[in-house]
Amino acid sequence: MDTIDWQLDRTQASTLYKQIIEKIKDKIANGEWPPGTKIPSQRSMSDILKVNRSTINTALNELIADGLLEASVGSGTRVANNSWSVLASSAALWTPYTHRGLQQPNLSTIQKINTYEFDDRVIRLGTGELSPEFYPKELMQDTLRSIGEHITSLGYEEPLGLYPLREELCRYLARLQIAATPASLLIVSGGLQALQLISLGLLNRSSTLYLERPSYLFSLNLFQSSGIALRGLPMDNEGISLEALQAVPATASRCLYTIPCFQNPTGTTMTEKRRAELYALCAAKRLPIIEDDVYRELWFDSPPPLPVKALDKQGLVLYIGSFSKALSPGLRLGWITGPEPVISRLADIKNQIDYGSSSLSQWAVHRLLASGAFYRHVDSLRGKLLARRTVCLQILEQYFAGIATWTVPQGGFYVWLTLKKPVSLNRLFYTALDNGLLLNPGNLYDKQASQNLRISYAYARLDDLATGLYRLAELIKTYRL
Amino acid sequence: MDTIDWQLDRTQASTLYKQIIEKIKDKIANGEWPPGTKIPSQRSMSDILKVNRSTINTALNELIADGLLEASVGSGTRVANNSWSVLASSAALWTPYTHRGLQQPNLSTIQKINTYEFDDRVIRLGTGELSPEFYPKELMQDTLRSIGEHITSLGYEEPLGLYPLREELCRYLARLQIAATPASLLIVSGGLQALQLISLGLLNRSSTLYLERPSYLFSLNLFQSSGIALRGLPMDNEGISLEALQAVPATASRCLYTIPCFQNPTGTTMTEKRRAELYALCAAKRLPIIEDDVYRELWFDSPPPLPVKALDKQGLVLYIGSFSKALSPGLRLGWITGPEPVISRLADIKNQIDYGSSSLSQWAVHRLLASGAFYRHVDSLRGKLLARRTVCLQILEQYFAGIATWTVPQGGFYVWLTLKKPVSLNRLFYTALDNGLLLNPGNLYDKQASQNLRISYAYARLDDLATGLYRLAELIKTYRL
Ligand SMILES: Cc1ncc(COP(=O)(O)O)c(C=O)c1O
Ligand SMILES: Cc1ncc(COP(=O)(O)O)c(C=O)c1O
């Protein structure tokens, strides 16, 4: 019988039971545990590896199911005789690799959502993107024709991105009273990539990121994969709680992440007063701020308060924007601006991971900004989105009045629905899917938000939204019985 | 006097001296070491932290230069009185952050190259991209016009990428006798991103990547940043040495990375025989292969042997391609194909880091493939590139005959120049830059290749190439005196 000459790594992203499986597979694959080898008893493994018997048991059962181990009553568990031919299949070859990388997989609900978003038969009640009906086809057609005439080469771009586009973006930012220069602005492939660059370049496993709870960021595994801790702070209807922020300890490596306009998922917009207080507090605490403002342009009655970045005289704030929400996510185009040394560091990393964003997208957005067409497009979009919000609220009033409450957003895409009684969101998600509805459950954005759903009025056709919300209300009611 | 209550982390990417600087800055910033604090002696720090006195000395000197510490003869080193105002500047706020992330910065020569590539005054003698004169302007104009008419929305794409593009790519791969399906192919933002996804998803700090020496990959910090070890194997003029490969130990997590066609930087193409032997050996050793074939289409007299992937019946090979080299790097479009579970894992990560590649680029390349225009473009490109190679070899013959030898590539962009006598490549790089020449020194691709330069005949105008190579030869000659 072989002994256990390894330990589990509790700092690793992969779960302990997966580590056990991987390790045993490695032993077999390397020939260290040839066919017929009797493996250590569950009790001794549990002692040596300091895990529950049940964890060992789950791992061994999976290996038995895979045909790598064989259990026989009385004589313990042994490496199966045909284990090598099992391992010789391609799946077996790659399985340990696909569990090995630093990056954790997406949350399983997110994986499901990603798949079903491309199934035409489901009604998408929570999707965070504009309906295809808002696609400005003629505008894009003109734009593509015009850049086709203009472009004379499509080589690797400068590390910070296309210079004329950076100039246009600085002009756009000046309207928001943000002083940016082409040297302090980096073009990225969407706001998400800005976040990835920060996770790779500025933070590490000793860092803590403070953020609103709930938040879009909790639905990603991006920061967690780099070992960065996320700490949610409560919010009220003016934004993140200053009291909670006040209590943030003065450790060496920490940042505040905030979505101050039409927050994802609550729809909340931080008031002007709160922004000023938040900035003052962060400045006093030397707490850097990541301001994610991708929904800013989608206001209804009046523009939201100026960005926190507009108050920033000390280089405390990194400011992120994107064309995904107001124009088209398929362009994969956004930006980040902040102190030059930080932007250079992020640009260097971007250059290491993809050599820059698509020049076609960069030229297209440049053209749209330079011609002013982007601004006209957004102007007309606002009214249409408001009309959708109004209808959505009417539908909710009709079907959900007795069973839920909700927020009334002043812009953006989302209504945050709070059910009056608890449900199992997991069961609701799958039951809804069986009934042709794709949901974004609240617990994606806050583990404890077990009575919430993120509803989006931006994506589904209005008749689908009505049908879908009706069906959902019915499900929730029956489901409770 | 404060004591040292921390240890250095030798598994971290950041160097020990940087860790010391960061830690002391943190102590000062947190108020743990207020102004006037006498810091521990160099001797005791060196003892406790187990590093050389000289490392401590370098770190302290940098802190003194930054104005954070003050040394006075006889009374040791103290925290400077104005240290807090120094730290209060934005640069000081962010400096520890920009040193903190997992991702290492680019090699300094690469950073220089990235900057000077956008300076019109220098002649770029080693640049790995097609000259703007090869940009198929009319073709791209037609393409953009046609996709403008075709596209009806630009939403977030499926995790694997645009379906019709994946279908076209499978057709392209079938020509190379690679059996791929749209489910086993992932669209990426260039070949580089495929490598990033592998580094995040399949390997970790216990992994070893074997590769040709020299190789493009040594010029990147991508794998090293994830703690993955790179081990170069010697090559001959038929490709990577099988003897060396034979000796690769059977550890659990290892991969072979190879550029079998017109290798970057040597220009070598692996023979058909070597490919077959290599595949057989890797299959026997259960050693997965990453085949980077981004230069494949750029052959001169006859197509290179079929990809190793074409031999792959066991799902051993991940195959990477790109439109950067044969069409335009600005499109940022490539692909990777391999066993489905591996591709799903990589797609999930891609989805987590940028939500997919630009739809404009995807539609454009789809159109170019579907119409056959891409194939016609490459056909005409080959002849033009061959003409450039011929001229380049003539120029080398004229100016370098006495001082260097070089390879004669059968395709791709590169000539690998070996100087007959040793030089300091670092000095040569900077002297050349002073003289308006941007070089790609051999030691980027192999630390030991101190007598090599990568010359590219693809980028510079031919008259510039002649002027540049003449000047370079003169520099090398004078420089030796
Ligand atoms: C708050 C917020 N930030 C960033 C993103 C990323 O969007 P993109 O990468 O398309 O710009 C999203 C998308 O849902 C979001 O809601
Ligand atoms: C061998 C090799 N692989 C991959 C790349 C990355 O190119 P891209 O990301 O533009 O496809 C390069 C570019 O120099 C290369 O030489």
- In this predicted structure, what is the pLDDT of residue B30? 61
Please give the pLDDT value at position A1. 44
Counting ligands in written order, the one closest to the CA of B263 is: 2
The mean-pLDDT minimum among A317-331, A385-399, B87-101, B269-283 falls in B87-101
Domain range A16-97, its CATH number among 1.10.10.10, 3.90.105.20, 3.30.360.10, 3.40.980.10: 1.10.10.10
pLDDT at residue B3 tops 70: no
What number is the average pLDDT over the span A48-56?
89
> pLDDT per residue over B173-202, tens digit each?
999 999 999 999 999 999 999 999 999 999
- Arithmetic mean of pLDDT, A132-156: 95
Contact present, A360 and A147 (Cβ < 8 Å): yes
A191 lines ligand 1 (CB under 6 A): yes
Q: Residue A481 pLDDT more than 50?
A: no
Which pLDDT value is given to residue B276?
98
Q: What is the pLDDT averaged over residues A332-359?
A: 94
Q: Which of B94, B148, B352 sits opposite A339 (nearest CB)?
A: B94
Give pLDDT tens digits for A292-310. Answer: 999 999 999 999 999 999 9
A449 closest CA partner among A291, A317, A266: A266
Cβ contacts of B290 on chain A, cutoff 8 Å: none
Give me the pLDDT at residue A437, please: 96
- The closest alpha carbon to A110, from A457, A458, A444, belongs to A444
Task: Answer yes or no: is pLDDT of B411 > 60.
Answer: yes
| pLDDT for position B356 | 95
Q: Omega before B265 cis (within 30°)?
A: yes
pLDDT at B104: 87
Chain A positions in Cβ-Cβ contact with residue B279 (cut-off 8 Å) = none
Mean pLDDT of B315-331: 96
Give the pLDDT mean for A365-381: 97
pLDDT tens, residue by residue, A61-118 = 888 877 889 887 777 888 887 776 666 677 678 888 888 888 888 888 888 888 888 8
pLDDT tens readout for residues B40-72:
888 888 888 888 888 898 888 888 877 889 887
The pLDDT of residue A3 is above 70: no
Torsion B270-B275-B278-B279 (CA) sign: positive
For chain B, the helix, strand and coil percentages under 3-state DSSP, each to the nearest 5: 45, 15, 40
A22 vs B388: CA distance, rounded Å: 51
Contact B332, B189 (CB under 8 A): yes
Q: Which residue did the predictor score with more confidence, A479 or B332? A: B332
Percent of chain A topping pLDDT 70: 96
pLDDT in tens, A27-37: 777 667 777 88
Q: Which of A281, A346, A353 is nearest to A318 (CA)?
A: A346
Q: How many Å apart are CA A255 and CA A292, to the nearest integer? A: 13
Partners of residue A324 in chain B, C-beta under 8 Å: 156
- Of A6 and A91, which is predicted with more confidence? A6
Segment B348-358, tens digit of pLDDT = 999 999 999 99
CATH 3.40.309.10 matches B137-375: no
Is the pLDDT reported for residue A341 higher than 90? no
pLDDT of residue A345: 93
pLDDT at position B76 is 83
- Residue from B11, B23, B111, B154 to probe the interface with A (highest A Cβ count within 10 Å): B154
- Is any atom of ligand 1 closer than 6 Å to the C-beta of A292? yes
Where are the domain boundaries for CATH 3.40.640.10 in chain A? 137-375
Among candidates A100, A114, A250 on the partner chain, residue whose Cβ is nearest the Cβ of B30: A250
Q: Answer whether residue A119 shows pLDDT above 90.
A: no
pLDDT at B431 (0 to 100): 93
Domain(s) labelled CATH 3.90.1150.10 in chain B stretch across 108-128+377-479
**Domain A108-128+377-479, what fold?**
Aspartate Aminotransferase, domain 1 (3.90.1150)
Model confidence band, residue A58 (pLDDT cutoffs 50, 70, 90): confident
- The band of A370, judged by pLDDT with boundaries at 50, 70 and 90, is very high
Residue B108 predicted with pLDDT over 50: yes
Structure tokens at B317: 């090979």
**pLDDT number for residue A30:** 61
Q: What percent of chain A has pLDDT over 90?
A: 67
